[in-house]
């Protein structure tokens, strides 16, 4: 058995130059595949982090919009109360006027 100590590869035969070139080519392909997988993993990891940041930002925006909407709703309710109070006050005055006229 022939041992290539540099790459920790064991052969059942002594490879000739052509076979060594094929093995080197296969090694380069495997290294590029490993690099590609690492790059994809890092990219996915970055995407996950970006998604988490986007979700946090969206939640902050949603909270701000919700608070703004809540404030507007309170204003609308207050305006309606004011309109009702004014209408009731005016109706009472109209009723008083009508009773005076009678």
Q: Which residue is listed with tokens 């052509």? A: 18
Please write the tens of the pLDDT for every residue from 16-74: 788 888 888 989 988 888 888 888 888 877 777 788 888 888 888 888 888 888 989 99
Count of domains for the chain: 1
Do 2 and 13 contact (CB within 8 A), yes or no?
yes
Rounded Cα–Cα distance for residues 31 and 25 (Å): 10
pTM above 0.85, yes or no: no
Do 42 and 50 contact (CB within 8 A), yes or no?
no
Domain with 61 in it? 2-101
| Distance in Å from the first CA to the final CA of the chain | 126
């Amino acid at each position: 058995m022939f041992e290539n100590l540099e790459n920790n590869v064991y052969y059942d035969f002594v490879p000739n130059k052509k076979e060594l070139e094929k093995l080197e080519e296969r090694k380069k392909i495997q290294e590029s595949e490993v690099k590609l997988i690492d790059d994809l993993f890092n990219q996915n990891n970055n995407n996950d982090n970006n998604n988490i940041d986007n979700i946090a930002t969206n939640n902050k925006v949603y909270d701000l919009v919700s608070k703004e909407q809540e404030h507007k709703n309170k204003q609308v309710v207050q305006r309606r109360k004011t309109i009702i109070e004014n209408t009731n006050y005016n109706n009472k005055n109209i009723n008083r006027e009508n009773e005076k006229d009678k």
